[in-house]
Amino acid sequence: MKKNRGRYQSLDKNEKRAAKRKYMSYEDVPLEDYRDNDPVPANMTKKFLRLFVILFLSVVLVLALMNIEKLTPDNISHWFQYDLLGKTDGDGYPVSFSGTAVNDENFGLISGVPAYCSDTTIAVLNENAGTYQENQHAYANPIMSINADYGIIYNTDATGYTIIRRDNIVYSGSVKKKIFSADIAGNGCYALLTESDDYLSKLTVYRSDNTEKYSYSFADYYMNTVSINKDGSMAVLSGVAAKNGGLISVIYVLDFTQESYMQRYDFDDTFIYDVKFLDNGNAAAVGDDAAFYINIKDGKKLDVGYSLRTLTSYTLKRDGGMILSLSTNPDGRECDVFVIDSSGNKSDEIKTGKKVLSMDTKNDRLAVLFTDNITVYDMKGKITSTMESDSDFRKIVYNDSSTIYVLGKSRLSKINIK
């Protein structure tokens, strides 16, 4: 007994406590007595959290450096509200647009998503037809021009205009004289071509804060189109005048640091429909009997005649040059399509044998809308994809290599390229 008692006495405190509680329930044992004796050390937890924070901040820093130009307070707010919180969830395309009509020129992409201006509404949708914004307007003849993240809508032959971004109206204002044309740069600088008391027309350029930056008056021509370059430092314009009973047109290139024009080109018996300042610094123009590519640096002009064919459709793209559809028939059938890229290179002509309704390009692919289908070609004229069309379809806009947005008579659609 002494031996056993001596052994018992030699037990340490934990063993004594366990022996006494041999037949006791764990519910009767204090928590500290059966707690895990090997917990994760506090310093290990702190090291893990510290490592996690370092890795997270490293990823954020890399993404920030890759998208440094896009890290503005507005874009961060957009991402948090609309992408993270999903404020623009939609039910998918096709979707009816607000209003009764949308002109072809009033449909495009702003910040990579569809935007349109109908006879009553300015709207921007997301990839699933959710609404970023939908605002009413009172313009009788609205025209919309988009450049990257900005858009400007102006009331033709009136004085009002509105500037938008993807999810909001940035500014609404008016000028004293009627607006003939307007355009906006990728940095928010914009240009208004208007009437003038003392001249035939006047160009006024505004900074993104709506303060005046530059103006130029035209005494000899009624200017009717304007396009501003991506950083808001130059513009290309076209205008018309009468001469000896005939029609003459002109193209001006203006540098906002110079008092006089930088370049000027005159055309007899030609009417210029549209001009576009390209993102690479050159310019393109489309007329009724020829198209023109202008190298701004050396002032050289490339003329592209239509060879007795009729222009049936065209598309001017800031990042892609111009696309032309020409027909040998007065009714617009049997069209030939080709591209003049932003460097002035002409692609092979594609003889479609059909009437062309609309065209667009993306990544060396040309999409053409016919009455019965949408066909995608490479720049050599080889068909790479064909999708069914709809009698409602009027205009196509290439979104990326896999999707095309379509403006119809009453709705907007989204087509997946096969």
- Sign of the alpha-carbon torsion through 369, 371, 373, 379: negative
Task: Report the mean per-residue pLDDT for the chain.
Answer: 88
Give the model's pLDDT for residue 11: 46
Task: Tokens for 302, please give them.
Answer: 């490339």
* pLDDT range class, residue 407, cuts 50, 70, 90: very high
Give the model's pLDDT for residue 1: 44
Range of lowest pLDDT (40-54, 100-114, 392-406)? 40-54
* Percent above pLDDT 70 for the chain: 83
> Between 201 and 12, whose confidence is greater?
201
Whether the pLDDT of residue 2 is over 50: the answer is: no
* pLDDT range class, residue 23, cuts 50, 70, 90: very low
217-244: per-residue pLDDT in tens?
Answer: 999 999 999 999 999 999 999 999 998 8
Q: Which residues pair with 249 in a beta bridge?
A: 240, 267
Euclidean distance between CA atoms 280 and 404, whole angstroms = 24
Euclidean distance between CA atoms 293 and 273, whole angstroms = 14
Q: What is the mean pLDDT of residues 370-395?
A: 96
Question: Quick one: residue 411, left, alpha or beta (phi over 0 = left, psi -120 to 50 = alpha)?
Answer: beta
Give the model's pLDDT for residue 36: 52
Give the model's pLDDT for residue 75: 58
| Cβ 309 vs Cβ 352: under 8 Å | no
| Cβ 378 vs Cβ 384: under 8 Å | yes
Q: What is the mean pLDDT of residues 44-48?
A: 70
Q: Which residues pair with 338 in a beta bridge?
A: 324
Whether the pLDDT of residue 35 is over 70: the answer is: no
* Percent above pLDDT 90 for the chain: 77
Euclidean distance between CA atoms 225 and 192, whole angstroms = 10
Whether the pLDDT of residue 189 is over 70: the answer is: yes
Euclidean distance between CA atoms 247 and 213, whole angstroms = 33
261-276: per-residue pLDDT in tens?
Answer: 999 999 999 999 999 9
74-127: per-residue pLDDT in tens?
Answer: 556 555 555 555 556 799 999 999 999 999 999 999 999 999 999 999 999 999
Give the model's pLDDT for residue 60: 63
Give the model's pLDDT for residue 224: 97
Give the model's pLDDT for residue 245: 85
Q: Which residues pair with 335 in a beta bridge?
A: 327
Q: Which residues pair with 27 in a beta bridge?
A: none
Pairing assessment for the beta strands 131-136 and 142-147 based on DSSP bridges: unpaired
**Residue 265, helix vs strand vs coil:** strand
Give the model's pLDDT for residue 380: 94
* DSSP letter (8 states) at residue 79: I
Task: Tokens for 191, please give them.
Answer: 């240009």
> Between 73 and 242, whose confidence is greater?
242
C-alpha distances out from residue 14 to 11, 20, 276, 413, Å? 8, 10, 88, 76
Whether the pLDDT of residue 128 is over 90: the answer is: yes
Whether the pLDDT of residue 55 is over 90: the answer is: no
CA-closest candidate to residue 145, choices 256, 235, 79, 78 = 235
